[in-house]
Copies of this chain bind each other. A is one copy, B any other.
Amino acid sequence: MTYAIGVDFGTESGRAALVDLSGGAVLATSVVRYPSAVIDETLPSTGERLPDDYALQDPDDWVKVLKRGIPAVMKESGVDPDQVVGVGIDFTSCTVLPTTSEGTPLCKLKEWRNRKQAWPKLWKHHAAQPVADRLNEVALERGEAFLERYGGRISSEWYFPKLIEVWLEDREIYDAAAQYIEATDWIVWWLTGSECRQTATAGFKAMWSPQEGLPPTEYFTAAYPGFDHPGEKLGNTFVALGTKAGTLRAEVAKKLKLSESTAVAVGNVDAWVSVPGVGVEEPGTFVIVIGTSICDMIVHPEEVRLPGITGVVKDGILPGMYGYEAGQAAVGDMLAWFVDRLVMDSGSYGALEEAAAKLEPGETGLVALDWWNGNRTILADADLTGAIFGLGLHTSREQIYRALLESIAFGSRRIMDNFEEHGLVLSRIVACGGIAERSPLMMQLLADTSGRQVHVPEVSEIPARGAALFGAVAAGVYPDIGSAIEATRPRQVRTYEPDLDAKQTYDRVYEIYRTLYDTLGRSEVRLMHELKRIRTQRRDA
């Protein structure tokens, strides 16, 4: 009997899961909340008020997940440490931090801890938006080819906007940092003592590709004169997902109650590990991780460059395949807004779902644009805002709730249409994440609006499970991730069949959605932008 442990680092907490590698069952789980959670109000070391759009974290919180979570699953399962052959981790991304050459986070050093640029920036730190705007502007001016790999636009959440923000705001921190590294790679470094970066975040978040490397230095200096060593904090060797980064350091093994011989896989990212976690390795399956927001993933043997995606990266999700990513910015967030902020009855989710499920397709008379948090793809426009059409004196709470769910489904269909219009055939949907488990109506709507089967694997701890599989590959239990997926594919799957009568009605509603989408998101987008500009100017006045 062999086992692997996966550790899934989320936004508010980390989860460790111990997986039986003979069939993929999760034997024990432990959840550890980050004491400092998301640091977005004041800097812990000084109490200094943080600017808008800051979102930092404390690396000690992450280490706590390992030190508490792994011993907890070992104890709960009663497994012998020698039988735990591999560890894999996944993390939110792009979450990045500056470290010394030994891997000490600068924010943990007395010298630097009072400086906000020394702290890890969480994926949703958005204060580098002006940098991203500038980088996009110059990339368009110069006709930079790399942009095509990212659907035509880079995000403020990525590596270079966050790094250049350090360079602009606090040059001493920039100079003191030997590394500016993804948290996922930093955790692996902490576990093994060896710094080992992987191709996936380099590709999806740092604009690197195996063929082309980084964008040219002249591009960066054209945007930011003086920023002339773009790769100096990133490193230049990147290995494939599933590679063994090393084994546990002796003192770490002791603290984690594991054996020193345990293999550690290179770092990985929460959304991507869900693909092996749900048992998908084949092209043509659209994997939706649906929770606070949506991350969509497809693997495909060839590279197709298309607009309206977050990125396409070789070996980016599964080694040997091109990984494609897209997504929707507000999902669970938007539903929580409706329930907690508008209806103000946080106990009403179940009742709303039940009442909304009784309505017929088209019966609400409503169409919404799900842009409560901007549009991630296919428009990649953070300045878009949500809209509801068709309101009348008869409109009920559950009708609006259903219209919000429908808008999420239409947004997904728009993304799938975009892939199909560029030649990637999508035959089915596999969904996972909190809303896949909690909202059968949402799943049925994904089926009814797209005309595709939706499969929801009935398995817990999907990301941690996926991460553990990479740990198993690193340990050599499986020759590759494909074999690992095959051996551990979830056996219980809930299937939602598309209702073709509903599909016919939704085709009509979707035509309206798509026209409003194109009108307010493109041809008349100035209206939405002006609305946001007025609001921002008023707020700042």
Residues of A within 8 A of B (CB): 330, 333-334, 337, 341-344, 360-367, 371-373, 385-393, 395-397, 400, 505, 508-509, 511-512, 515-516, 519-520, 524, 527-528, 530-532, 534-535, 537-539, 541
- Chain B residues with CB below 8 A from A505, complex form: 534, 538
Residue of B nearest to A532 (CB): B365
B372–A392 touching, CB < 8 Å: yes
When distances are taken between beta carbons in the complex, the residues of chain B under 8 Å from A385 are: 365, 389-392
- Contacts A505-B538, A534-B505: A388 and B391 contacting too (C-beta < 8 A)? yes
The smallest C-beta distance from A369 to any residue of chain B, in angstroms, reads 9
Known: A387-B387, A520-B389. A364 touches B535 (CB 8 A): yes
* B400–A342 touching, CB < 8 Å: yes
A-B contact pairs, 23 of them (CB 8 A): A330-B393, A341-B397, A342-B342, A342-B395, A343-B343, A365-B531, A365-B532, A372-B392, A372-B393, A373-B392, A373-B393, A388-B388, A389-B520, A390-B531, A505-B534, A505-B538, A508-B534, A509-B531, A509-B534, A512-B531, A515-B524, A515-B527, A516-B527
Q: Does the CB pair A535–B362 fall under 8 Å?
A: yes
Give the distance to chain B from A360, nearest Cβ to Cβ, in Å: 5
Determine whether the beta carbon of B362 is less than 8 Å from that of A537. yes
Task: Quote the shortest CB–CB distance from A394 to chain B (angstroms).
Answer: 9
Measured between alpha carbons, how far is A381 from B142 in the docked complex, in Å? 50
On whether the beta carbons of B337 and A395 are closer than 8 Å, the reply is yes
Q: Is the CB–CB distance between A387 and B386 below 8 Å? A: no
| Contact B372 A337, beta carbon cutoff 8 Å | no
Closest 3 CB pairs of A and B: A365-B535, A386-B391, A362-B534
A410 to chain B: closest CB distance in Å?
13
Contacts of A361 in B (CB 8 A): 538
B390 touches A388 (CB 8 A): no
- Closest residue to A535 on the B side, CB-wise? B365
Chain B residues whose CB sits within 8 angstroms of the CB of A395 once the complex forms: 337, 341-342, 372
A363's contact among B365, B373, B520, B535, by CB below 8 Å, is which? B535
Nearest residue (CB) in B for A506 is B534
Tell me whether B342 and A534 are in contact (CB under 8 A). no
Cβ contact of A372, chosen from B363, B367, B386, B391, cutoff 8 A: B391
Shortest A338–chain B CB gap in Å is: 10
Taking CB atoms, residues of chain B closer than 8 Å to A365 are 385, 531-532, 534-535
Which chain B residues border A508 with CB–CB below 8 Å?
530, 534
- Which B residues lie within 8 Å of A539 (CB)? 363
Query: How far, in Å, is A433 (CB) from chain B's closest CB?
Result: 18
Closest to A391 in B: B386
Q: Say yes or no: A393 contacts B516, CB within 8 Å.
A: no
Q: How far is the CA of A141 from the CA of B388 in the complex (A)?
A: 36
A437 nearest CB across to chain B (Å) = 22
- In the bound complex, residues from chain B placing their C-beta under 8 Å from that of A388 are 387-388, 391
Question: A420 to nearest B CB, angstroms?
Answer: 24
CB distance from A117 to the nearest CB of B (A): 26
**Contact between B387 and A389 (Cβ–Cβ < 8 Å)?**
yes
**Residue of B at shortest CB range from A511?**
B530
What residues of chain B lie closer than 8 Å to A391, measured between beta carbons?
371-372, 385-388
**Which B residues are CB-close (under 8 A) to A532?**
365, 390
Chain B residue with minimal CB distance to A360? B538
What separation, in Å, do the CA atoms of A210 and B103 have in the docked complex?
93
**Residue of B with least CB distance to A366:** B531
Q: Which of B362, B373, B389 contacts A538 (CB 8 A)?
A: B362
**A527 in complex: contacting residue of B364, B393, B512, B524, CB < 8 Å:** B512
